[in-house]
A and B are shown apart, each in its own frame.
Chain A
Amino acid sequence: MEHKETISSERIRTSEKKHSLFQNDGIGLIFLMLFIFIITVMLLLSIVIPDKKISERENRTLATFPKFTISSYFSGEFNKGIEDHYSDTFPFRDGFLDINEKITKFTSQFSSGGDDGIVVIQTGERDLGGEGFGDYEVNN
């Protein structure tokens, strides 16, 4: 009985190995550690790099760290404030915004300018954001 069990568990192990994306545990582990390393570095950078107050690119003031009060905590406003502040002051934010614009251009502006202006109205909001919508956001 015992013998049988070891065989079947052995078989399971080898079949698991066969279907695995990574060839061995070592590389899987390296990959995990690399992931942890990258996100940790980003967190550390966000702490070390001084926060910008204003985004010239969007022409608006960036979200500041929220004030903690009991009521703002329970209403969820405090946590929302942290999320806004964190993404507004994320390391290399402008660089990531550039990349995001390229992604948007590729996926959503296949024929930019093709249909006399309509194209821009429909999908180009992100580009317009520079001046026009900056105020819009602050007011909101």
Chain B
Amino acid sequence: MVFSSLVFIYIFLVVTLILYFFAARSIQQKNVVLLIMSLFFYAWGEPKWIILMLISTAVEYFGAIIVEQYKEENKAIAKAALGVSVFVALLFLFIFKYFDFFSFNFSQIFGTNLRVLGLTLPIGISFYTFQTITYIVDVYRGKAEVQRSYFRLLLYVSMFPQLIAGPIVKYVDVEKQLTNRTYNGRKAGEGVYRFLIGLTKKAIFANIAGEIASQFLDGDLAELSVVGAWIGILSYTFQIYFDFSAYSDMAIGLGKIFGFDYPENFNYPYIAKSISDFWKRWHISLTTFFREYLYIPLGGNRKHHILNLLIVWTFTGFWHGASWNFILWGLYFYVLIVLERLFLGNFLERIPAVFGHIYTLLMVVIGWVFFYFDDMSRLKSFFWIMFGINGNPFLGVTDKSVFVNHIPFFILALIAVTPVSQLIKKYFIKLAEKSKSTGLICDASLIVSAIFLWFIDTAALVGSTYNPFLYFRF
């Protein structure tokens, strides 16, 4: 079940909200509601491998208890328990996500015939595995207290808002909220609004961008023009941001409704002035995870930091999928970040800021080519087309009309990727605080705009099932 589906909003969410706000009284009861609904939510999309999540959580649960028991008196045992638990968590991830990749490539290189498991990837495993790791590592580091209730730990892991697509919430960030969270109307109201913003980004912006991108990127590359290639990859640049940040918006919004504060995951990444800056703004919870649980333990900036960066960026790429293109994508950013650390960063600071923005955006857009094409030969031809090397026409017959037709969309999308909305929000709040009457008008307009968003989002969701085989035709 995805957030942007009618079943999620109009059945699942209805039942959950009613039980949470009208049936459950104490925080314990509310937690029970959240846990049961979260498990139901997960089982809906992953009826078989829900068992894996339960086991994985149990391993970290018992592991952390052993860690806690021995970390004062016998560090070696605590360390071993930590090592084994993290190893098991990563082993599950490896078997389901990476085994086939390794066995296939091993067979290719050495001519052997290794078994391919053909397992489907359990939904959200990449996210919840990392969450459980933050828990046990932070217990070992003394940052988090051990959780004596398995079900409470399971609630942390399985909370449906952040279960399948992040943000990767560190255990310490929500530790206290599992047992004690303040309910307040302002926060809940903001949560609903944030959810609707996310839904709009997904149901309208990401889907339109996706339709345009697919027209250019999924067809016969021999017929693709240079301009078409750029329109395609720029549309994909929009799509991936809207899609991914929409999920984070909806997750954070839902979290707020239930009283949880999740960390922000995106901070207008496309206005970054360098690649290092971009990665402080894009999928923040993932970069934070790699920094705190891999880069710093490896030695961080203190020793062999170029090597540490290489490891981190290889893993960052590989985390996105078991395929060579994602590794290339990670290495691509590794090279750029090393260059920035060596001299490019200094250089960018001395020239006018606009060049930094152009450079960053260009590099990011080129990066998405690696991300999009998991077929290496298509990846290569696409690059050739982009830079006019293999003689494809400069402008295709339909390029102009597709672009012109979507001008209103591109304008809206451009506005939406910049912090204009934050400026409006600031001005709006200032206005609302001016006097009682302006406050009332602002509140009313907020609600009216929310109803408008709800209305067009629902229409878009209903419309998206109008022709469910859209992608088949291109």
Chain A contacts to B: CB under 8 angstroms: 16-32, 34-36, 38-40, 42-43, 46, 58, 73-74, 76, 79, 82-84, 86-88, 90, 93, 96-97, 99-101, 103-104, 106-112, 114-115, 118-119, 121-123, 125-126, 129, 133, 136-137, 140
Known interface pairs A21-B446, A122-B398; 17 further A-B residue pairs with C-beta atoms within 8 A, sorted by A's residue number? A21-B429, A22-B443, A28-B190, A29-B188, A34-B447, A36-B17, A42-B10, A58-B466, A76-B45, A96-B458, A107-B409, A108-B406, A110-B406, A115-B401, A123-B402, A125-B470, A129-B467
Residues 447-465 of B contacting A (Cβ, < 8 Å): 447, 450-451, 454-456, 458-463, 465
Q: Of residues A19, A23, A109, which shows the largest number of chain B Cβ atoms within 10 Å of its Cβ? A: A23
Residues of B within 8 A of A121 (CB): 398
What is the 8 Å Cβ interface bit string for chain B, positions 360-402, against chain A (1 contact, 0 not)? 0000000000000000000000000000000000000110111
What is the distance, in angstroms, from A86's C-beta to the closest C-beta of chain B? 5
* B6 contacts A by Cβ under 8 Å: yes
* Residue from B1, B189, B461 within 8 A of A22 (CB atoms): B189
Interfacial chain A residues near B5, Cβ < 8 Å:
83, 87
**A48 to chain B: closest CB distance in Å?**
14
Q: Are B463 and A101 in contact (CB under 8 A)?
A: yes
| Among candidates A17, A20, A86, residue contacting B7 with C-beta atoms closer than 8 Å | A86
**Distance in Å from the Cβ of B123 to the closest Cβ of chain A?**
10
Assembly CA distance A19 to B430 (angstroms): 9
Contact segment of B145-153, B156-164, B179-187: B179-187
Bound form: Cα–Cα A76–B45 in Å: 7
Residues of A within 8 A of B14 (CB): 36, 39-40, 43
Which chain A positions have C-beta within 8 A of B463?
A: 96-97, 100-101, 103-104, 126
Whether the pair B47, A76 counts as a contact (CB closer than 8 A) is yes
6 shortest interchain CB distances as A-B pairs: A28-B189, A100-B463, A25-B185, A28-B185, A29-B185, A99-B459
Task: Pick 11 A–B contacts, CB within 8 A, sort by A.
Answer: A28-B184, A28-B186, A28-B189, A31-B189, A39-B10, A58-B466, A86-B11, A107-B204, A107-B412, A118-B401, A122-B402
Contact partners of B184 in chain A: CB under 8 A: 25, 28
Is B186 in contact with A87, judged by CB distance below 8 angstroms?
A: no
What is the minimal beta-carbon distance from B438 to any residue of chain A, in angstroms?
Answer: 10
**Interface size band for B:** 35 or more
| Chain B contacts for A42, CB-based, 8 A | 10
Q: Please report the C-alpha to C-alpha distance between residue A22 and residue B187 in the assembled complex, in whole angstroms.
A: 8
If over half of B's interface residues share one DSSP class (helix, strand or loop), that class is named, otherwise mixed; here it is helix
B21 in contact (CB, < 8 A): yes
A27, B447: Cα distance in complex, Å:
10
Q: Which residues of B contact A112 (CB under 8 A)?
A: 405
Contacts of A137 in B (CB 8 A): 467-469
B192 at the interface (CB under 8 A from A): yes
A88 & B465 in contact (Cβ 8 Å cutoff): yes
Residues of B within 8 A of A133 (CB): 467
Q: With a CB–CB cut-off of 8 A, which chain B residues contact A140?
A: 469, 472
Chain B residues contacting A99 (CB-CB under 8 Å) are 455-456, 459
B270 at interface, CB cutoff 8 A? no
With contacts A29-B188, A108-B409 taken as known, whether A18 is within 8 angstroms of B10 at the C-beta atoms is no
Given contacts A108-B406, A122-B215, contact A32 B462 (CB under 8 A): no
Q: Which residue of A lies closest to B46 (CB)?
A: A76
Return chain A residues, CB-CB under 8 Å to B440. Answer: 23
Chain B residues contacting A107 (CB-CB under 8 Å) are: 204, 208, 406, 408-409, 412
B225 vs chain A, min Cβ distance (A)? 14
Please name all residues of chain A whose beta carbon is closer than 8 Å to the beta carbon of B351 when the two chains form the complex: none
Residues 392 to 438 of chain B near chain A (Cβ within 8 Å): 397-398, 400-402, 404-409, 412, 425, 428-429, 432-433
**Complex: how many Å from CA A99 to CA B463?**
9
**Does A97 lie within 8 Å of B406, measured CB to CB?**
no
The closest CB in chain B to the CB of A34 belongs to B447
The answer to whether A39 touches B9, judged by C-beta atoms less than 8 angstroms apart, is: yes
